[in-house]
Every structure is written in structure tokens, then in C-alpha cells.
A and B are shown apart, each in its own frame.
Chain A
């Protein structure tokens, strides 16, 4: 686990530091009033410039006597960021005096909210659809769910997003207003939105939960409405994938001898399916849930851009353009941390369901 994060930090570090001019490494730490001497000592402080380096100019030009070896740079970078110093943000449209960490922490809950909503949709739609498909093998419900799952798996998310916007914002409208909002994390101007929801206080950072904790139902409603299209778009691919996995493993399990025994006991078919079959059929689905979470977090980048969702994904593209490498590094590592932890949880759940793993 630590190895994964460590290896990944090396890869990202090499991509962002090894391949870019040395100035890029400095950028997040530079404040407006700094002169060249101050910048040089900053570079030395950060372990990017050697102590022998004479002028900032030499450093910027990447003269080899000025630049410390990449391996040393990596170690000092690791020490710097592990002490929580991620520098100032370079993101456009944000005051440069804000730290990268604060910007990230402020935006992250929005991405989390989107990903959680999409996970819930994935599970709530994918698993039942897979079961129906398997229990009605080669009959109409199977064909329908196959179309949904394969369609969901094959549809370009960005295209699905634009189509949903087109349909619900333009074609389906009430009194000249679209039914659902086209963008943002708080819907205040659509047919079913509440125009002035007021404000909420921050507890978790997730608007949907904070509004409930603050007792502001209008705000809750508006953030929930805003969540519909983005989360559905984000979930559509994983719904397709999960449906297929559940279907095939369910079909496999339904052929097993122990299902025949369960049926021979005369218990209700519903119990046979949900107690005896599902518990076994769900195991492969649990195994891939780590991958699905990774997929949702990655997909969030595109969805956030299309729906102007104020999360970290949307910011990451801007960060890439302005070479705000600290933001990118932070984003990649936090995402990887989540995925690694998710995989750990998956292993625990797996062992909980399958007693054979425990020994």
C-alpha cells in the first residue's frame, strides 16, 4: 500500500519535475515581491538548486552545476510536501495568496459528493439489473437490461452529458425554463429549483449533507437537483459494467449445485436468489469495486468540466494547463490514496462475505 503511493509519487514527480524546466518546481512557492536573490535562496531551500549556484539566471536556464540531481530533488520535495507545504495555488481566477492545500480541500468535497452519488446510483441500478438479467436469461427483461448495460458501457460519457443537457435543459421545459439545471453544484434557475435557498454552514463540505445538518431544506433540494444529471452521467458506464459482471456471475452461480439444493428445500425462489445466489454472485462485483471507484474518480474530471462542477477534477485540467504541478501531484496522490484504501475495504468486505478467505 505504502509502496504503491511511493511508486506513484516517483512517477508523477518524474513527469512533472524531470521533464519540465526547473522554474516550474519553484512557481508554487514564489510570492509577488520576490527578487531574483530571494528566488535563488528559495530554490536552494527547496533543494532544487545546488548551494554552488551563483545566480537565479543560471538556475532558470537549467545550467547543470545549478540543478541538484533528480533523486535529491525528490527527497527534499517529499520532505516539503509531507510537512504539509504544498505552496500557493497557480490556478487562474483564484487569488494567488491561497494555498494549494486550501484550494484542494475546498473543492474536494464537491468531487466526493459527485463520486459518492454516482457510486450509489451504480449499486442501486447495476446490481438489480444484473440479477433481473440473469434470472430471465434470454427473455425480454434480459434483452432490455443487456441493451441498457451494453449501451451504458459503450456510450461516450461526454456525449451522454451533452445529450442530457440538450433534452432536460432545452427540449423539456416548463414555462420557458428547462426542467433541470445545465451546470453548477447548486441549482437555482430551473423549472423545479428553488430560486433563493439561502446559505448553510459547513460541517462536512458536502452540500447535500451540510444543508440537511443546517436544516435548510431548500438548499438541500437545490443541491440534490443539481446532482442528478452529473451523477447519472458519471455513473452510466459503471452501471453498464456492474450489470454485466453481476449478470454473468449470477448466471454462473445459478447453475451451481447448491442452488439446486436450496431449491430442493422448498424455500421461496426469492430467498434462493437473494440469500443463496446473490451472496456468491456478488463476490466478483465486490472485487471490481476498487476499479469502479478509480473509474468514477477519473471520469469525474470530464463530467466536472462539462457540468461546471466546482470540484477538483475541473480544476485539475486548468492546473495541467498552467503547470500547477503541486495541485496535480496532490490530486493524483489523494486519489490514489482513496483507491488504495477502497481496495483495502474491499478486501475486508470480501472476507466478511466469503468465509473461505478468512482462514
Chain B
């Protein structure tokens, strides 16, 4: 609640999630996956969403993209994309939002690419699906590209004419979409994009597939990019390249990124701000430097202490005692209290709100008020 009255710059907020609660119905009972998520994303920033697996990071992203599985039930909350509530929107509107505003990139590039459709087609089909919407961006992109190549001169005239008419046949647009897809593949630095266009996912390496998946997101020029554990399945060297690419592309298309990860090193490397999640709650939000220099929530502290750092010699590796709670019957009050070394009476009765403990640093813990 306090987040909405916080000191962040209102005009620059692209996405805001407030009080999002949702359950998964399973045969074992209702899993209380999200318990009042509070989150906002500013324009142009990279927000890291960190937490252990199963804490609801991915579900939050799926909820934002309107891709929740059938057994999910949203109990309350709002997801505002530039002021428009996506949870109240019709299915078709949400689909349109995914087409042009919210893009998602997933963890495992092997299983997330369709094995029987060529890479390029999986990109070009996006723009082909809505000629009206993508005509302008596609042609502008192609004009941009052709200005740098010698052969592009003749094509320019044609492209400019199409742009002026605002009308193009499906066939013609199909050809343009192919060129556009190739240009996207070039943008994500895939070597020999013309050849990659007609290749199948199994012919590419993990890093190349991840680049292809980013190209699919990029093709839509989204306002929000939800990146779900995109580096987890990759080698460390490839990870760094992908992260660098992501940051560059973000600046090019002026998007915001929600980077979901369990890897604090990745967070430190690329994020502007961090939101820490635990068992379906956001427990702490702050700028990345603040989180690392002055963590407030006991869970965040525990998380940071459990990292192996070569520069600090420790006698033993610390870990957080206990284990992640079963969300079918979550602990009452603060969901972290059974594992918390500082827990006191109030923690097991009341649920703490997210409060601004210091400027732009939010925490949900009774230790701070």
C-alpha cells in the first residue's frame, strides 16, 4: 500500500502491480502462490526480481503477461500497464498487449522454441499477425537498415511508397516481414542471419537460441520485457554476452526490463533496482547498491550471506535455517517468521506491510516499524 504513496516519480512508472493475490488449484488443495505482490517498474530501468525457486517470481511474470495456467485463480489486485488495468481487460486486449507492449523471454531456449518451425518464421509470424500495427515499425526499421547498404537504394523508393499508402498486400508484407526478422536476428548479433532465418532450433547452440528468443521479443518493440531466468541454462561466458546484449537492446528500444533470477551476481551486474521475493511476497525493494550495502530484511541478509565471495574469507558457508514453507498451508503472519532469527510475537500473528524504511528503500518487516 505504501508503495503507491511512495516517493518514486509517478510519471515514469510504466508498470505497477498492486496487492496481487492468486491461488493455484491442485488436487492437494489450494496453493497460495502470491500473497499480495507490490511492484512497480520505471521507464527504462532494469528491475531484478530475486528469490528462491518456487517463491512466485515466474508466476508474477506470467500473471503480468496474462499467461497463467488454467488452474490459477486471481483473488485480488491490479496490474496497471500505463494506467490500464490488465486484470480487468478482455482476453483479446491482453493478447494485443502481449503482441505490442509486454514481451517475455524464457529460461530454457531448447524447450521454448517450436522444434518444427524455422527460427525466422517464429519471428516474422509476430509482425505478420497484425499488418496494420506493424506496418510502420517494420518499414522504418528496413529503411533504417537499407540506408547503410548500397543495394538498398532502389528498395527505399518502394518502401517509402508503401509507408505513404499505408497499405500492402499480405504477400508483399510477408516478404518484408522476412527481411525484418533477418534484421532482428542481426540485431541480436547472430552470425549469418539469412542462414539462421531458415534454420531449426535444434541446429543452434543454447546461446544462439537464447538470442533468437530475444529477437522475438525485440521484434515487437515492447515497453516491458519480462526475462525469466534467461541466463540460467547457459555457460557463464555466454551469460555475460546475453546480459550485455539485453542492456544494449533495452536502450535502443527504450524498454523496461524485469529480470527474474535467483542469481545475485547477475543482479549486481545489470540491474538498477532489486525486488526480493519470499514465498509469494515482495519482502524488500531497493536500488541495487543499497541492497548489497545495506540489506534490511532478515531474508535478504541471509540470502547475501549465503553467497560465496572470493574476497571474503569465511570459516563456514552460512545458510538460512529451515526450508521453504508449503504454500498450501503457509505460516500465519509473516511467511518468513519460522525461519527468521529475529522473529518475535507479532510476526506470527500479523502480516507486515511494505514500508519505506529509508528513501526509495522498501521493506516488509516489523523490525522497521
Contacts and interface: CB of A to CB of B under 8 A. Distances in A.
Interface string B73-91: 0000000000000000000
A358 to B, nearest CB: 9
Interface string B99-118: 11001101010011111111
A356 B108 CA distance: 19
Counting chain A residues whose Cβ lies within 8 A of the other chain, the interface size class is 20 to 34
Contact of B117 (A256, A257, A276): A276
B220 A275 contact: no
A267 B202 contact: no
Contacts of A280: 114-116
B213 interface: yes
B110 to A, nearest CB: 9
B16 interface: no
B97 A279 contact: no
B113 A266 contact: no
B202 A356 contact: yes
B111 A257 contact: yes
Contacts of B196: none
Interface string A295-334: 0000000000000000000000000000000000000000
Contacts of A267: 99, 125-126, 129
A20 interface: no
A258 B201 CA distance: 11
B114 A258 contact: yes
Nearest to A261: B112
A257 B125 CA distance: 18
A275 B106 contact: no
Interface residues on B, range: 20 to 34
Contacts of B200: 355-356
Contacts of B95: 266, 268-269
Interface string A248-290: 0000000011101111111111010001100110000000000
Contact of B129 (A258, A268, A354): A268
A124 interface: no
B65 interface: yes
A353 interface: yes
B296 to A, nearest CB: 34
A262 B114 contact: yes
16 contacts: A258-B112, A261-B106, A264-B67, A264-B98, A264-B103, A265-B98, A265-B125, A266-B96, A266-B97, A266-B98, A266-B129, A279-B114, A280-B115, A355-B202, A356-B116, A356-B202
Closest 3 CB pairs of A and B: A266-B99, A266-B98, A257-B111
Interface of B: 65, 67, 95-100, 103-104, 106, 108, 111-118, 125-126, 129, 200, 202, 213, 216, 220
